[in-house]
Amino acid sequence: MSESTPFGVVAPEGVVSRPSAWPLAQTVARIEQAVTGKGLTLFDLIDHSGEAERIGMAMLESKLLIFGSPRAGTPLMAAAPLLALDLPLRALVWRDTRGQVWVSYTDPAWLARRYGVPAGLLGNIAGMEPLIAAAIQP
């Protein structure tokens, strides 16, 4: 699946956005299943749009999954302590103004460059890309 640009959104450097073939709730469920199926921990699911609605504000549907593995993340943070600002990993599932569902995340290779992660440790987070790709394809 090729990388695309969400309608009306300019992504900052290092952010990857991929269109999902599924509705938002199903995309979230598929990523949750992929995360737990790989033995990773789903630390939290933040319903940004639901919280906005709860306080009487509106925004397009948006949910953030926070996931990872202490076994994979700890060596990364030991080698590059400030990487803890971006770990655990996150995937934002959201809908643009045209109704397309997207999954956006920070590119693991970009994180490695940003924090100076040793090349041998990139594999500890690089697996998120195929995990997400498999979850959003038909």
The pLDDT value recorded for residue 4 is: 62
Q: List the chain residues with pLDDT less than 50.
A: 1-2
The DSSP code sequence of the chain is ------TT--PPTTEEEEE-SS-HHHHHHHHHHHHHHTT-EEEEEEEHHHHHHHTT-----EEEEEEE-HHHHHHHHHHSGGGGGT-SEEEEEEE-TTS-EEEEEE-HHHHHHHHT--GGGTHHHHTHHHHHHHHH--
The pLDDT value recorded for residue 6 is: 73
The pLDDT value recorded for residue 2 is: 39
The pLDDT value recorded for residue 9 is: 76
Token couple for 92: 């934002």
Q: Are 75 and 121 in contact (CB under 8 A)?
A: yes
The pLDDT value recorded for residue 10 is: 78
The pLDDT value recorded for residue 5 is: 67
- Residues 46 and 67: their CA atoms lie apart, in Å, by 12
